Amino acid sequence: MTNQNVVVQDTQAAINMAINVAVSNSGIFTTATQKPPSAPGGYISISQKKFLKNIEINGGTRINTWVDTMRGSSPTHIKASAPFSDDQSSWMNHHPSALDMFEQIIEASKGKQIVMFLDYDGTLSPIVADPDRAYMSDSMRKTVKSLARCFPTAIVSGRCRDKVYSFVRLAELYYAGSHGMDIKGPAKGSKYKKDNAKGVLFQPASEFLPMIDEVCKQLIEKTKSTPGAKVEHNKFCVSVHYRCVEEKKWNEVAQQVKSVLKEYPKLRLTHGRKVLEIRPTIKWDKGKALEFLLESLGFANCADVFPVYIGDDRTDEDAFKTLRERGQGFGILVSKIPKDTNASYSLQEPTEVMNFLQKLVEWKRQSIRRQATL
């Protein structure tokens, strides 16, 4: 990122932060999203409050309620016409580009087994208006395939596992769908798994299936009068998309979701990129899924493992936080703008993610060649 005028194409990072602040002010919804704790090791995080003080959306509208926040986001582009503020430059200093820091990252992983965790939407595929058409490019698929030959690799997504598999179509990967509540290993077993046991399957929220089905039907019914609203059944959770809803109707969507959720105290709401996500209140998230996957790969109590998690969403913060708490590996946030995060590094968009993954593959291939000539 250079110190010049930028056009922020998707402002959801800012919006998510604003929503989290505004939700607690408005009392409309309760949210399970918490501010990450102060991170160890010289990590500096810009507080949401401080960041919001400095951000101006649509020419300076101060955000007071979460619906204002939704409205305050331009459905198209938001221009940040001023040069980077001190906070923005400081953010880049503390979350530098993973591409620029590639050598340092490799140095830190020396002698350890790298394990890759990849979010899907906004990380492997660009954000698009229709969630059913969020395809990943062939070149990204090829890159992820090569990556999985070099390192154990898992896709961790808010989507239903079958759906994310239908986009990625690589049988050799681990998949954790429904925000980690539906985990499955490669059908043929994994070459990385120490005992190579087949058929890892873990579904900690299975008792919620009937409730989720019921809520999903109600949400479809409630929101059908709102043009553009879309309900997506993600098996153990439900997404209510408002990306294609006129801003003046976002409050309507909020009220519809609220009216359904109030009857279900065992479900909670979290916020994604122009999406309201309803999920069970169980203590399970992408961070827990990461730990579960490390354990099933045989790295539970290993000091010589180096997990790398790449994601763009608030829900990915649980995994970034887990890595900080374990003091192993690191998180990479995919974002064009500063965001309160527990990730250590940043990448701006899926094409940069692909470049980073390609560099990792190339480095691994070279180190194998070097070892072979010794």
Residues designated catalytic:
119
- What is the SS3 string spanning 15-27? HHHHHHHHHHHHC
Q: Distance between alpha carbon 27 and the CA centroid of its chain, in Å?
A: 25
Q: Which is nearer to ligand L263DTV3, 12 or 109 (CB)?
A: 12
Residue written as token pair 């990204």: 140
- Beta carbon of residue 84, minimum distance to ligand L263DTV3 (angstroms, whole number): 27
Is residue 298 within 8 Å of 285, Cβ to Cβ? no
Q: Which is nearer to ligand L263DTV3, 101 or 155 (CB)?
A: 155
Give the gyration radius of the chain's Cα atoms. Answer: 20
- Beta carbon of residue 80, minimum distance to ligand L263DTV3 (angstroms, whole number): 21
Q: Which is nearer to ligand L263DTV3, 57 or 101 (CB)?
A: 57
- Beta carbon of residue 155, minimum distance to ligand L263DTV3 (angstroms, whole number): 8
Residue written as token pair 């790398």: 308
From the list 109, 39, 118, the residue with the least C-alpha distance to 304 is 109
295: which residues sit within 8 A by CB, 6+ positions away? none
Share of the chain residues as helix, strand and coil, in percent rounded to the nearest 5: 40, 20, 40
- Beta carbon of residue 158, minimum distance to ligand L263DTV3 (angstroms, whole number): 3
Residues near ligand L263DTV3 (CB under 6 A):
119-122, 127-129, 131, 134, 157-159, 232, 234, 239, 241, 243, 272-275, 277, 313, 315
Query: DSSP string spanning 22-86?
Result: HHHHH-SS-B---PPPPPSTT-----HHHHHHH--BTTTBPP-SHHHHHHHS-SS-EEE-SPPPH
Q: Which is nearer to ligand L263DTV3, 134 or 333 (CB)?
A: 134
Residue written as token pair 């709401």: 269
Q: Which is nearer to ligand L263DTV3, 101 or 332 (CB)?
A: 332
- Beta carbon of residue 223, minimum distance to ligand L263DTV3 (angstroms, whole number): 15
